[in-house]
Amino acid sequence: MSADNNNTEATTARREIDPVFKEAVEYNFGQLNLPVQTEVEVSRLPRTMDVLVVLNSAAEIKIEPKNYLLLLFAASEEKSRLFLEQIVGKDNWLYINYALRLRPKLTMEVLEMAEKSDVYQRRMDELTEVITPYLDKEKFLKQMTPEERIRGLQPEDILRLLDAETLEKLKQLINDRERK
Using the predicted structure, report yes or no on whether residue 96 has a pLDDT greater than 70.
Answer: yes
What confidence tier does 89 reach under pLDDT thresholds 50, 70, 90?
very high
Cα separation, 117 vs 97, in Å, equals 12
Q: What is the DSSP string of 79-127?
A: HHHHHHHHHHHTT-HHHHHHHHHHSHHHHHHHHHHTT-HHHHHHHHHHH
**What is the model's pLDDT at position 168?**
92
Euclidean distance between CA atoms 13 and 105, whole angstroms: 43
Residue 103 CB-density burial (10 A; 0-12 exposed, 13-18 middle, 19+ buried): buried
CA dist 138 → 16, 141, 163 (Å) = 47, 5, 22
| Cα–Cα distance for residue pair 52/69, rounded to 1 Å | 14
Residues 99-156: tens digit of each pLDDT: 998 899 999 999 999 999 888 889 888 988 898 888 888 888 888 888 888 887 888 8
- Give me the residue spans of the domains in the chain: 1-57, 60-134, 137-180
pLDDT digits (tens, 9 = 90+) for 140-150: 888 888 888 88
Average pLDDT on 160-173 reads 90
